[in-house]
Amino acid sequence: MTTAVSENKTVLLGMSAEDIASLLPEYPKYCGAQIYGFLADGKGFGEMTSLKKELRSYLEERYTANPVRILKTFEGKDGTKKYLFGLTDGNLIEGVYMPHDYGNTLCLSTQVGCRMGCTFCASGLDGLVRNLTAGEMLGQVATVNRDAGGNSKNRAVNKLVLMGSGEPFDNYDNVLAFLDEVGNVKGLNIGERNISLSTSGLCDKIVRFADSGHKVTLSISLHSPFDEDRSALMPVNKAYGIAELIKSAKYYFQRTGRRVIFEYTLIRGKNDSDACAHRLAELTSGFPSHVNLIRLNEVKENDYAAPSADAANEFLCKLQRLGVSATVRKSLGSDIEGACGQLRRRYAEEING
C-alpha cells in the first residue's frame, strides 16, 4: 500500500489505529484509536476536540487528516450529487452519490485518469496520471458520507461501487488495502456484500482477486460479445479476449459464490443487433450471471450515439426471451454529467483557459 504524502505531511486516513498510535509515542495508545475514529467520520484535526489542544496542534503541523476535499458539488433533479474532488497534489477526481430507497451508493474513483483507452469513455481521454492511495479512496467515502449528514456510526453512504475514473485492478494493491480498511468495524464498516468492483477485464487480476478471500460483487465491462468489435471499443480485449474473460468470470463465481455482473453499454448501431443478443446469451449461459444494460452517456469527444429508451428496452426483451437475466440500469445524474471524467475535464479546461 502506498502512503500519501502532501507538502512533507503524511496522510493519516488509511492508516490503522495502531500505526497512528506508533507515530505518537509520547501519547497514550488510545489516542490512536480516537484519531482513527475521527478520521472515519471525516473530521479534521481541529474538530477532534476530545484530544488535548497541544496534540491537535502537533497533528496539524505534521500530518494531513484527509487528502480529499470537495471543490464543487452539482445536484441533479433526482437527488444525485456529482462531486469534483481536489487532492493534496492538485490533481482532480470525481465521485457520484446516488440515493435510493434501498440504500445510498457512492461511485468512487481508484485512479486519476485511466490507461485502458476505452473509446466511448471520458475517464481515459487524457490517459493515466497516477494511482490513488487507499487513503484517497477512503477520503472520498468519508467526505461524501459526512457531506450527506452521516458518520461512521450512522452512515449516509452504505453502498460503494468502484466504478469511477480508473481501472481498479490496474491499482490492485491499493484497492485491496482500501477494501480491508473500509470494512473495518471500528471505522466506516461497509461490508463487501455492499461493494461492487468494476473491471475492464484484466483476467489475471480477476483470478488473483478470486483467490484473495475478498467477495465483492464483480462487474465486468463487456460491451460487445464479439472479439473484433470489443477490441475496437476496448483495447484491453487484445490482451484478454472474450473466451478468457468468460473463463475468469466463471472462476470468480466458483471461488466466491458471487454472481458476476456483465456491464453492457448500449451504443446505437455498434452492439445492439440481434446477433449481439444471441451471442451474449450464449456467453452468459451455464453460470449465475446478470447483464446490466446501460444506455451510453454520450461524450462530445467521440461520435457514438445512445439508443433511444425504447430501443434499449427492445434489446432487453430480446435477451430475456433468450433466457438471459438482464435489466436496463436506471439513468441517474444525466443532467449533471453523471459519466465519470466529464466534469474533471471541463473544470481543468476552465482553469487552463
| Mean pLDDT in residue range 195-202 | 98
Output the pTM of the full model: 0.91
pLDDT of residue 109: 97
What is the residue type of 180?
A: D
The CATH label, of 3.30.40.230, 3.30.1330.50, 1.10.150.530, 3.40.50.300, for the domain at 9-64 is 1.10.150.530
- Residue 255, pLDDT > 50, answer yes
- Cell numbers at 166, concatenated: 480508473
Residues of the chain with CATH 3.20.20.70: 68-351
pLDDT of residue 60: 97
| Mean pLDDT in residue range 266-270 | 95
Choose the catalytic residue: 60, 75, 94, 118. Answer: 94
The architecture in CATH of the region 68-351 reads Alpha-Beta Barrel (3.20)
Helix axes 203-210, 242-256, angle to 10 degrees: 10
Residues of the chain with CATH 1.10.150.530: 9-64
123 DSSP assignment: T
pLDDT of residue 3: 47
* Least confident piece of the model among 94-98, 260-264, 271-275, 340-344: 340-344
| Mean pLDDT in residue range 11-37 | 97
| Mean pLDDT in residue range 244-266 | 97
For the chain, give the mean pLDDT. Answer: 92
Cα 39 to Cα 42, 282, 293: the distances in Å are 5, 48, 37
Residue 340 annotated in active site: yes
Helix axes 134-147, 172-182, angle to 10 degrees: 40
- Residue 334, pLDDT > 90, answer no
CA distance 45 to 36: 11
* Least confident piece of the model among 12-16, 111-115, 118-122, 235-239: 118-122
CA distance 71 to 220: 31
Apex CA 9: angle with CA 171 and CA 155, to 5°? 60
CA distance 294 to 226: 18
Cβ burial 82-103 (10 Å sphere, 16+ → b, else e): bbbbbbbeebbbbbbbbeeeee
pLDDT of residue 350: 57
Choose the catalytic residue: 31, 118, 203, 340. Answer: 340
| Mean pLDDT in residue range 197-219 | 98
| Mean pLDDT in residue range 330-339 | 58
Residue 94 annotated in active site: yes
**Residue 124 near residue 159 (C-beta atoms within 8 A):** no
